[in-house]
Amino acid sequence: MAVMAGLLSQALAVPHSLGHTAATMQNSAPPAIVLEGLRKRYAAGGTLALDDVSISVQPGEIFGIVGRSGAGKSTLIRCVNLLERPDSGQVRVLGDDMLGLDDAGLNRARRGIGMVFQHFNLHSRRTVAENIAFPLEVAGVPAAERRSRVAEILPLVGLEARANAYPAQLSGGQKQRVGIARALASRPRVLLCDEATSALDPETTEEILALIRDLRARLDLTVLLITHEMGVVKAICDRVAVMEAGRVIEHGRVFDVFTRPAQPTTRRFVSEVIGHSVPAETIARLPAPEAGETRYLAHVLFAGPNSTRAVISQASREFGVDYNIVSGRIDEISGEPFGIMAVAAYGAPAKVTASLLWMQELGLTVTPIEEHA
Amino acid sequence: MSWLTPTMQDLFLEAFWETLIMVGASTAISVALGLPIALLLFVTAPRGLSPNGWVNRPIGLLVNALRSTPFIILMVAIIPFTRLVVGTSIGTTAAIVPLALAATAFLARLFENALREVDPGVVEAARAMGATRLQIVAKVLVPEALPGLIAATTVAVVSLMSFSAMAGAIGGGGLGDLGIRFGYQRFMPEVMATVVVLLIILVQGLQSLGDYLVRKLSHR
């Protein structure tokens, strides 16, 4: 049985290309944000907050960086507009070599990069309209023009009625709408979102994410966001990078990373939203294989052209293998449907192997589920 | 009320006026000097907007030295300086100089604390929007700290009222001085009691005014 499992995992080993050349793919236009070889250490002798991180974000895409707290994602996003200076590496935003700019140049460049914060960071003594006008004030835009720009942007975030309210009078979701409106007031091409939805309830999170997605399309924005919630990545990102201990451990198209996570950390993140894991109790309750038969537990992932074929019943019929479907669901990532199913295959070892390999040939992804005795 | 002769009434009026002048003028001066010092301390602090130990440490030291000198000693110790500034070392005007100096040091620390209460996230957001340091100070730090700055000023005004009672030592006059000279030295407890009651009413009034302004200005 153990030999069997080893053989199977070998046969089923999926090549993880995952578009690791993603940094250079898709788009021929120059990337909006390029971070290259960033290193940052806060205290001498301390651990590296950033350890040789390189990321490139294409114009118009929503790029997510996901990681646990302390993984370095917050430092990373702060390096884009140099709220935090990397010890070494390159930062290019919209063609500007950020680290080469003087103070005045940096301030000018920052005005072209909007930023949204987890705790909104609104001025408590300014009204909604005054908060939104702040970046314009900083940039020296005349008062009349500021007023008309604020009037233009308030409807974009649905806050026309609250223009004269103070932040303390708003709900969390409304505060973040103000934060977004403020970030977009000076018409930036790039928007940085620092855990923009982490302080919000799930419903408001969805609302804010929808708003960001909608604004990206309307205003032709490039969005870089960091989050610890895989749900955020699944909901709006085109590409994702997973960070751990100051390094990017995996990156690629969200669909690829979700359907074929290569790293254990990524798999854990992904399982949060698409239920990769099967409880041990459930496994323990499955019937044992009969004499001469084997039981093999696997996740079968349906994606692509064959995702709608009746694969399981066909395999059962043709190979004489019984499939016990433990769990299954259909989901959609970035508009692409996929199904994931946990199955227990019962049958002669050779038949089981053959049936799973056949599924693999159809373009389904089969990953063994580890059984812990 | 036989003690409240017309002469005594005049004395009270005069003393009340002197207290108002001493406290008012030294408050105005100490706010004007204390805020820039507090901003300098805050901005040059180790994790501030432009950390600079060579500015921060000497100023911090000076502020602490002034704050730890007992006011009665400070008053006489700086007599040469007082004479230099106002041309005399006795009287109400002369008392304003040490009062303002002591209150400046006191307020600089209180203001610095008020500035520390400003949400660092708001400052970070302003930096991210390309605000210059001057803009951050003028458009973020001071406006956001305003309620705290006013609360600090209220505390300082009340302290100045009690400091001003010591101004009698250099002929500054004022209510406190009246209470000592008549109430204590001439055995007129009624005068002492009246002075104390007047001061309590004054302090209560100022505190209420300060609290009202803080409430009106903060939107939390």
Residue A216 belongs to some domain of the structure: yes
Residue B28 belongs to some domain of the structure: yes
Distance CA A228, CA A198 (A): 8
**What is this structure's pTM?**
0.85
CATH number at residue B75: 1.10.3720.10
Q: Are residues A131 and A236 in the same domain?
A: yes
Residue B37 belongs to some domain of the structure: yes
3-state SS track over A170-232: CCHHHHHHHHHHHHHCCCCCEEEEECCCCCCCHHHHHHHHHHHHHHHHHHCCEEEEEECCHHH
Q: Of all residues in chain B, what percent carry a pLDDT higher than 70?
A: 100
Task: Calculate how close chain B gets to A108, using CA atoms only, in Å.
Answer: 6
Q: Which residues of B touch A124 (CB under 8 A)?
A: 119, 122, 144, 218-220
Residues of chain A with confidence (pLDDT) below 70: 1-28, 275-277, 308, 371-373
Q: How many CA atoms lie within 13 A of B64 on its CB side?
A: 7
Structure confidence at residue A372 (pLDDT): 56
In this predicted model, what pLDDT tens digit does every residue of B167-204 receive, in sequence order?
Answer: 877 888 899 899 888 888 889 899 999 999 999 999 99
Q: Are residues A49 and A137 in the same domain?
A: yes
User: Dihedral, CA atoms, B20, B25, B31, B37, nearest 10 degrees?
Assistant: -140
Residue B209 belongs to some domain of the structure: no
3-state SS track over B79-124: HHHHHHHHCCCCCHHHHHHHHHHHHHHHHHHHHHHHHHCCCHHHHH
Give the domain extent around B46. Answer: 22-173
Q: How many domains does chain A have?
A: 2
In this predicted model, what pLDDT tens digit does every residue of B16-66 receive, in sequence order?
Answer: 999 999 999 999 999 999 999 999 999 999 989 999 999 999 999 999 999
Q: Scanning every residue of chain A, which has its alpha carbon at the shortest distance from the alpha carbon of B138?
A: A138
Q: Of all residues in chain A, what percent carry a pLDDT higher than 70?
A: 90
CA-wise closest residue to A104 among A138, A151, A75, A61: A138
Residue A42 belongs to some domain of the structure: yes
- Alpha-carbon torsion B66, B67, B68, B70, what sign? positive
Q: Is A365 helix (H, G, I), strand (E, B) or coil?
A: strand
Q: Are residues A169 and A294 in the same domain?
A: no
Q: How many domains does chain B have?
A: 1
DSSP assignment of A283-323? HHHSPPPPTT-EEEEEEEEEESGGGGS-HHHHHHHHH--EE
Q: Which residues of A touch B128 (CB under 8 A)?
A: 81, 83, 110, 113, 115, 192
Q: Are residues A316 and A222 in the same domain?
A: no
Residue A373 belongs to some domain of the structure: no
Strand partners, A322: A346
Give the domain extent around A310. Answer: 278-368
In this predicted model, what pLDDT tens digit does every residue of A80-124 receive, in sequence order?
Answer: 999 999 999 999 999 999 999 999 999 999 999 999 999 999 999
Residue A15 belongs to some domain of the structure: no
In this predicted model, what pLDDT tens digit does every residue of A248-287 receive, in sequence order?
Answer: 999 999 988 988 888 888 988 887 777 656 788 888 888 8
- Burial state string for A215-231 with b = 16 or more CB within 10 A and e = fewer than 16: bbeeeebbbbbbbbbbe
Q: Scanning every residue of chain A, which has its alpha carbon at the shortest distance from the alpha carbon of B216?
A: A125
Residue A246 belongs to some domain of the structure: yes
Structure confidence at residue B38 (pLDDT): 97
Residue B60 belongs to some domain of the structure: yes
Q: Are residues A100 and A144 in the same domain?
A: yes
Residue A4 belongs to some domain of the structure: no
Q: Are residues A211 and A352 in the same domain?
A: no
Cβ–Cβ < 8 Å for B112, B41? yes
Residue B217 belongs to some domain of the structure: no
CATH number at residue A345: 3.30.70.260
Q: Which residues of A touch B121 (CB under 8 A)?
A: 117, 119-121
Q: Are residues A179 and A102 in the same domain?
A: yes
Nearest CB partner across the interface for B125, out of A115, A137, A166: A115
Task: Calculate how close chain A gets to B204, using CA atoms only, in Å.
Answer: 27
Residues on B contacting A at a C-beta cutoff of 8 Å: 119, 121-122, 124-132, 135, 139-140, 143-144, 146-147, 217-220
Residue B43 belongs to some domain of the structure: yes
Last residue in a domain, options A272, A305, A332: A272
Task: Calculate how close chain B gets to A178, using CA atoms only, in Å.
Answer: 13
Residue B62 belongs to some domain of the structure: yes
Q: Are residues A35 and A66 in the same domain?
A: yes
Distance CA A331, CA A107 (A): 43
Nearest CB partner across the interface for A134, out of B129, B132, B218: B129
Q: Are residues A233 and A361 in the same domain?
A: no
In the numeric block, the tokens 């709006």 are attached to A236
Q: Report ipTM (2 d.p.).
A: 0.89
A96 touches chain B (CB under 8 A): no
Sheet holding A88-93, edge to edge: A48-57, A33-41, A88-93, A96-97
CATH number at residue A69: 3.40.50.300
Structure confidence at residue A18 (pLDDT): 39
Distance CA A137, CA A114 (A): 15
Structure confidence at residue A144 (pLDDT): 96
Last residue in a domain, options A257, A272, A287: A272
Q: Are residues A146 and A49 in the same domain?
A: yes
Cβ–Cβ < 8 Å for A41, A75? no
CA-wise closest residue to A368 among A4, A5, A2, A84: A5
Q: Scanning every residue of chain B, which has its alpha carbon at the shortest distance from the alpha carbon of A83?
A: B128
